Amino acid sequence: MNTAKQRQYFGTDGIRGRVGQSPITPDFILKLAHCVGRVLKKTDPRPTVLIGKDTRISGYMLESALESGFNSAGVDVLLLGPLPTPGVAYLTRAQRANLGVVISASHNKFDDNGIKFFSDKGNKLSDEWELEVESLMNEPAQWVESAALGKTRRLNDAQGRYIEFCKSNFGGDLTLKGLKIVVDAAHGAAYQIAPNVFHELGAQVVSLGCSPNGLNINDGVGATHPQALVEAVKTHQADFGIALDGDADRLQMVDASGRLFDGDELLYLIASQRVACGESLRGVAGTLMTNMAIENAIKDLGLEFIRTQVGDRYVLEALHEKGWVLGGEGSGHLLVLDKHSTGDGMISALQVLESCLRAQKTPAQLLGGIELFPQVLLNVKLQNKGPWSPSPQLIRAQDQASQQLGKLGRVLIRPSGTEPLVRVMVEASDMKVAQETAQQLVQWVQ
């Protein structure tokens, strides 16, 4: 059963949208928290949830609505303040809480926001859990009596606890002393945390995108705008550049030459170095968007490679099914499950740095001359907010394009799970062919 299509509010990464428009309104978010609380109370008479957020100005409003909704259902709340998404996942597990809640729209602009949830194990929740919550949204609220209302308090030093967790996932015999690293936090949730993590491990840190004002998250900086990092690395003559997105679960990296490495390349780098160190690694999971050159290179390591739907939640599900630990997306969502239960930009960066230090090689050297297939990704804005499905004519055009590309390319057309867009991706050994094919398919989508 494809439950993803049946969900009304939840997308591939929680609930997301424009602030002030349904469903990102205070009344909806209050009702959502109330319904989540009712689901939690089916298995625990007095649940506790943690709430963290990024730096968007709307976070204050949504935090208050969540707090009220949970309290009204008899659920206790711990407020974490600004904290990366993976930090909330870690503290949910460490505090033995029932649920972790993140207020963030990740890489989107400041006037979007969203809500996503983590289980008591620090994992993303299932489609079935989300459907159960949605089933209660149309029912009348069931306010608890005054004596049973939930309470709210703030967890002191949430950031410090998460900083220590990140540092604990870096080799104890290694140091970053002697390295200059530019750290770009996208004016987002890691703006105080990320510079401290790398500084406390010995690096000389140059901060970029670490001055949030509530309106500038992801604005020209961060993993979605890595050119700012490239320029900063060159200007400061740094050894590495690290770019996170607004909630710090995505990663892009730059080397001393100013070369940018995306999530696909970093995933291969980590996998190849683990194989070189003799670790038992059976396979790696990517998505439908993973570059063909990376798939081929991973198979050349003697590893199995599988593709999932786009979205780190689906990569995570595949890794759990296979019993593997490594997976990710080109966008920079990397999963290293023997280090953390979810994607974490800082821990992924530390894994890359550890790989380079142990091999005493640069990222380019560890990639061994792998050349990514040219990949063209075009977005087509949807006019209607309802579910999108391809027309028979578009399906025929896509099949024809795939046949023409043969083994030297791929075509993928899919609706975004977080924005009202259809994404057209064409990968080919020749950039001109990829561009022309993508433009033709965009016309069919439109």
**Cis bond upstream, residue 392 (ω within 30):** no
User: In the annotation, is 207 catalytic?
Assistant: no
User: Among residues 58, 104, 106, 119, which one is catalytic?
Assistant: 106
Q: How far is CA 324 from CA 251, 318, 328, 442, in A?
A: 21, 8, 12, 36
**Cα–Cα distance between 165 and 96 in angstroms, integer?**
16
3-class secondary-structure state, position 170:
coil
Other Cβ atoms within 10 Å of 296 Cβ, number: 12
**Cα–Cα distance between 425 and 107 in angstroms, integer?**
19
DSSP letter string over 192-255? THHHHHHHHTT-EEEEES----SS-TTSS-STTSTHHHHHHHHHHT-SEEEEE-TTS--EEEEE
Report the run of H or E that residue 135 belongs to, with start and end: helix 127-136
Residue 336 DSSP code: E
CB distance 35 to 9 below 8 Å: no
Torsion of CA 102, 125, 344, 245, to 10 degrees: -50
Handedness of CA 45, 46, 52, 57 (dihedral sign): positive
Residue 387 DSSP code: -
**Cα–Cα distance between 138 and 38 in angstroms, integer?**
13
Q: Count Cα atoms within 13 angstroms, Cβ side, for 38.
A: 19
Report the run of H or E that residue 181 belongs to, with start and end: strand 180-184
Rounded CA Rg of the chain = 22
Other Cβ atoms within 10 Å of 283 Cβ, number: 19
**Cα–Cα distance between 345 and 87 in angstroms, integer?**
10
CB distance 181 to 111 below 8 Å: no
User: Of 354, 382, 356, nearest to 367 (Cα)?
Assistant: 356
Report the run of H or E that residue 308 belongs to, with start and end: strand 304-308
φ, ψ of residue 80 in degrees (nearest 5): -100, -15
By annotation, the residues acting in catalysis are 106
